[in-house]
Amino acid sequence: MNLSGKNQIILGNKKGSIELFNLETGILVLSKSKAHIGPIWAIDLLKNFFKVISGGADGMLKIWDYELNEIKISKYLYLRDQILSLKIFFNKNLIIISSLTSKILFFLLDSLQFSFSLQGHSLPIMSMDLHCDLSLIATGSADNFLKIWDLKNKLIRKSLNYHGSAITAVIFQKSTGNIFSASRCGKICFWSKNNYKLLSELKNYHLGPIWTLKISSNGNFLASGSQDKKLIIWKINEENFEENFLKPQKNNEDQSDFIKNLPQQKKN
């Protein structure tokens, strides 16, 4: 996660440490060892308030204050089950959490008091993302379903079962609100926000589970990272929706980073 206004990135690792790196130099700026007992599976930021929120395999939700190149624990909450993902819903004073249960849990950000929950999956929710207007949340689960939720009415708007394996990553495209989902089988699907039609399917590029998807701030590029240790950068092509993907553009045959063209729905 990028830290507010600085060329730095903060992450949690399998050893339970929170680390801050300089993106230009790759130098480790600070490390908080034993922040969690066991792997940290989820981390998010309150950028304007210099707070870090982390969740891990130890079932602990922790809020950290970041100041003067040091992070200190501010609040914590023990949930018992492993925390798999979390998102900050600052406008509503909420932290949204998924754990080994099949529920989406909502806690008040300022007090960590339980607010409400949503249930619709039958197995753990492995990934989730908030739409940019904060009206929708997308969740992907080990039950193979991608679900879109209406947060205002607290209802499931759509359930999609297409991947055939656990949904490991979901993300909204910032410019359109369309949805990307990725799965344990290494497939990426691109869905329309308007009618939830499958716009495109990417398979046989990754050779293992896809653990993460990230979208650029302008919505034109998608990054996918997999257990096969391959990072692929996809360019979303607005002009060639009906065409197949172009060949990888590689500067070096030994590189593991690729750029491929991904069709996008044509604009009316």
The pLDDT, as a whole number, for residue 19 is 92
Q: pLDDT band at residue 49, thresholds of 50, 70 and 90? A: low
SS3 state of residue 11: strand
pLDDT band at 238 (very low <50, low <70, confident <90, very high): low
What does the pLDDT read at residue 46?
Answer: 84
Amino acid at 65: D
Phi, psi (degrees; rounded to nearest 5) at 39: -60, 145
- Which range of 11-25, 156-170, 205-219 scores highest in mean pLDDT? It is 156-170
User: Given the DSSP bridges, would you call strands 70-78 and 210-215 parallel, antiparallel or unpaired?
Assistant: unpaired
pLDDT for res 200: 86
Can you tell me the mean pLDDT for 166-186? 92
Strands 18-22 and 28-32: antiparallel
When the pLDDT of each residue in the chain is averaged and rounded to a whole number, the result is 84
Residue 258 has what pLDDT?
47
pLDDT, residue 210, reads 93
Given this model, what pLDDT does residue 205 score?
86
Q: Give ∠ CA 172-173-174 in degrees, rounded to 5.
A: 105
What is the reported pLDDT for 247?
33
Number of H helices and E strands in the chain, helices first, is: 0, 23
* Residue 262's pLDDT band (cuts 50, 70, 90): low
Burial of 221 (0-12, 13-18, 19+ CB in 10 A): middle
